[in-house]
Structure formats: structure tokens, C-alpha cells
């Protein structure tokens, strides 16, 4: 199916919230990783989200160019072309964009969608994330409100974050963050609802933090408190009514226990970001190929090696398949397997 339009994306979110499942939102940085996500989603019969970070976008443009906007556009255009060949819906999203990168990354991509719409073309991306978590909540929302207004005019969904996800992603470290900042409070969620709720009709996602940490951890190492999401949702509903309950995003899920993931979904998580685990699956397949075919991928002791084994297509196809399998695992953990909107027709 073509990349989801605004109505389809909104329906995806509504279905996830209603039926208590979440979409795997997988970071990509190349055509091969994008293809892996599409393969995994299709084989899971799950809709999903392909997302691009600032670092992933810069990488996609090439090491000599390192243009975040160009890389993001290139990846999105590829997905627009190939997604039509797959029997699931997919949305395109940009991941963490901090305040200092708004004008160099997020805003130019919004402008690109605005240009496309003026030309009668579909949106380039479906949603964007503004990560103002390093700012005070007031400063964060002072930027988010006009940004949401602009996104809404072009049928774009905005994701915002209140609280800080620990660890490191794309070179951004949050070491030394006070422990209380790792947990979004009910008061924070009330303020987000109050401020963003003034943009009538706009859709937005909230990444509320409950101990989440980016990076690699053994199961059980990260101490999550999903009850924070429950408490915040209850406070918002009490103040503003049931329609004000948030569509939540789960960041930093590596190492989380399955019961913690399911509890978070029960409290309103509709999207879970996945990057570390799919990166490992991709690289693990390449490493396995290299170790098994050492004398074929290298010209050892004057030999010529094996072209079939050092042809990048040989190991990148294995990496694509391995990453697709990890996407399928994610879809299962998020209760999304078999839940594509197309299955409801």
C-alpha cells in the first residue's frame, strides 16, 4: 500500500489505542534497513512506522555530504516508492530533533511537505518529533505549540517529549540527568494537555518518560515505572475529560520486560521506538557471514577469495532478513501481529 495518508495514520493510532496494541517504530539509515522494516511488517501483517533520526539521515546522504535533510528526503522518497508493493500500511516519522536542530532539520522537512502539498503531491512525512526535553517544560511547550499549529495546517502529527530518556542516542548523552527528570509527573502531563489542547483539531503524540533509557541493557536491568503513565492519564482525564487522554510513545525500550511493555500499552502507548535491537540483528548477520566465510571475504595468503562471498549483496541480504525477523518479534511483543487495517476490511 502507499505510505499512509493523514486519515489512515489517525485511524491507525485510534485502532491501536482502542484495541491495546502498539506499532513498532523502527529507525532506518539506508535503503536496506528500510526494506528490512517493510519486509518484517508485511510478514507480520502489521502496520508500522519507519522513522529517521538526525544521525541516520546524515548517514543516508553519504559520508562526503552529511546533509540531514537530503538524507531524510531520500529515504522517505524511497519508502514512498517501494511501500506500494507491500500489503500493509506504513507511516513515515522523524525521530528526536532537539531545539538546536529545529531550523536545520525539522523545519526544512515541514517546508518540503508544504511545497509538495502546493504541487498536489502527498505529504513527504506523516509526523515529526520535537524533542524539547532538555529545556524547561515552559520553554519546551513555547516552541511546541506554534510548531503543532504549523504541522496541523499540513496534516502532520507532532510528537513531543516531557521528561528525559536516559542513556545515549545519536551521540546525545543524558548522563548526570537528575533522577526525577527521568519520570514525567501528572503535573507535567496536565500542562502538556493544557498547552497543546488549544490547537483545535490537531493530533499529537506524547513521549512521557517512566524510567526509559536509550541503549543496550540486559532484560530487567532498566527499572521502569509504567504506573506513571496510568497516573498521568487519570489526572488528565479528571481535568479535561476522556477525550484528552494521550496517545503515548515508548522510547528506550531495549531490555524492557514483556510485562512492562504490555502494561505501558494498557495505559495508552500506541508507538514504541526500536533501534538498538534491530541494529544488532542487522550487524549480527553480517558478522556471522564474515566469520563463516573468512577465507572467502578476504584474499588470504595470496589467494583470490570468493566474489560471491565478498559481494556486499550476499551479506546485506542476510542482514535485511535478520533485521526483518527482529521487526516481526517486535510486532509480536507489541500485540500488533495480524492487526493491519487491511485485515479489518
Percent of the chain with pLDDT over 70: 92
Residue 308 belongs to a domain:
no
- 178 pLDDT more than 80: no
pLDDT of residue 179: 56
Segments forming the whole domain that contains residue 45: 6-277
Contact 189, 235 (CB under 8 A): yes
- CA–CA separation, 31 vs 319, rounded Å? 12
Contact 192, 161 (CB under 8 A): no
Q: Which of 14, 47, 95, 231 is catalytic?
A: 95
Which of 9, 282, 322 shows the shortest CA–CA distance to 158?
A: 9
Residue 294 belongs to a domain:
no
Residue 128 belongs to a domain:
yes
Which pLDDT tens digit goes with each residue over 311-335?
Answer: 999 999 999 999 999 999 999 999 9
Which residue did the predictor score with more confidence, 202 or 211?
202
Which pLDDT tens digit goes with each residue over 258-278?
Answer: 999 999 999 999 999 999 999
3-class SS at 323?
helix
Q: Tell me, what DSSP letter sits at residue 343?
A: G
Q: What CATH number is attached to the domain comprising 194?
A: 3.20.20.70
Residue 296 belongs to a domain:
no
Domain count, the chain: 1
14 among known catalytic residues: no
Residue 71 belongs to a domain:
yes
Residue 265 belongs to a domain:
yes
- CA–CA separation, 192 vs 249, rounded Å? 14
Residue 139 belongs to a domain:
yes
Residue 338 belongs to a domain:
no
Residue matched to cell numbers 494498557 = 266
Which pLDDT tens digit goes with each residue over 94-146?
Answer: 999 999 999 999 999 999 999 999 999 999 999 999 999 889 999 999 999 99
pTM of the entire predicted model: 0.93
Pairing state of beta strands 157-162 and 127-130? parallel
CA angle, corner 304, sides to 298 and 305, nearest 5? 40
Amino acid at each position: 500500500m502507499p505510505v499512509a495518508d493523514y486519515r489512515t495514520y489517525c485511524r491507525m493510532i485510534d485502532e491501536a489505542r482502542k484495541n491495546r496494541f502498539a506499532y513498532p517504530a523502527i529507525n532506518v539509515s539506508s535503503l536496506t534497513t528500510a526494506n528490512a522494516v517493510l519486509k518484517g511488517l508485511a510478514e507480520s501483517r502489521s502496520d508500522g512506522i519507519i522513522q529517521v533520526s538526525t544521525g541516520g539521515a546524515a548517514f543516508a546522504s553519504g559520508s562526503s555530504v552529511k546533509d540531514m535533510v537530503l538524507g531524510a528526503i531520500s529515504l522517505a522518497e524511497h519508502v514512498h516508492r517501494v511501500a506500494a508493493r507491500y500489503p500493509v500500511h506504513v507511516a513515515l516519522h522523524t525521530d528526536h530533533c532537539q531545539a538546536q536542530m529545529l531550523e536545520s532539520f525539522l523545519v526544512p522537512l515541514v517546508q518540503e511537505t508544504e511545497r509538495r502539498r502546493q504541487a498536489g503531491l502527498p505529504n513527504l512525512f506523516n509526523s515529526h518529533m520535537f524533542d524539547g526535553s532538555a529545556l524547561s517544560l515552559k520553554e519546551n511547550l513555547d516552541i511546541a505549540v506554534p510548531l503543532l499549529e504549523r504541522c496541523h495546517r499540513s496534516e502532520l502529527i507532532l510528537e513531543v517529549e516531557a521528561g528525559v530518556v536516559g542513556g545515549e542516542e545519536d551521540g546525545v548523552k543524558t548522563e548526570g540527568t537528575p533522577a526525577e527528570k527521568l519520570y514525567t509527573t501528572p503535573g507535567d502531563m496536565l500542562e502538556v494537555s493544557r498547552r497543546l489542547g488549544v490547537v483545535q483539531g490537531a493530533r499529537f503524540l506524547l513521549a512521557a518518560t517512566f524510567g526509559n533509557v536509550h541503549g543496550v541493557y540486559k532484560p530487567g536491568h532498566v527499572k521502569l515505572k509504567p504506573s506513571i503513565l496510568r497516573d498521568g492519564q487519570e489526572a488528565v482525564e479528571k481535568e479535561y475529560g476522556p477525550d484528552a487522554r494521550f496517545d503515548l510513545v515508548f522510547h528506550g525500550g531495549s531490555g524492557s520486560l514483556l510485562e512492562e511493555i504490555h502494561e505501558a500499552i494498557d495505559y495508552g502507548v500506541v508507538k514504541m521506538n526500536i533501534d538498538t535491537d534491530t541494529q544488532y540483528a542487522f550487524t549480527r548477520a553480517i558478522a556471522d557471514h564474515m566469520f563463516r566465510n573468512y577465507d572467502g571475504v578476504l584474499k588470504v595468503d595470496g589467494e583470490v577469495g570468493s566474489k560471491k562471498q565478498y559481494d556486499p549483496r550476499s551479506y546485506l541480504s542476510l542482514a535485511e532478513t535478520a533485521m526483518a525477523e527482529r521487526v516481526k518479534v517486535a510486532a509480536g511483543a507489541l500485540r500488533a501481529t495480524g492487526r493491519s487495517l487491511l485485515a479489518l476490511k
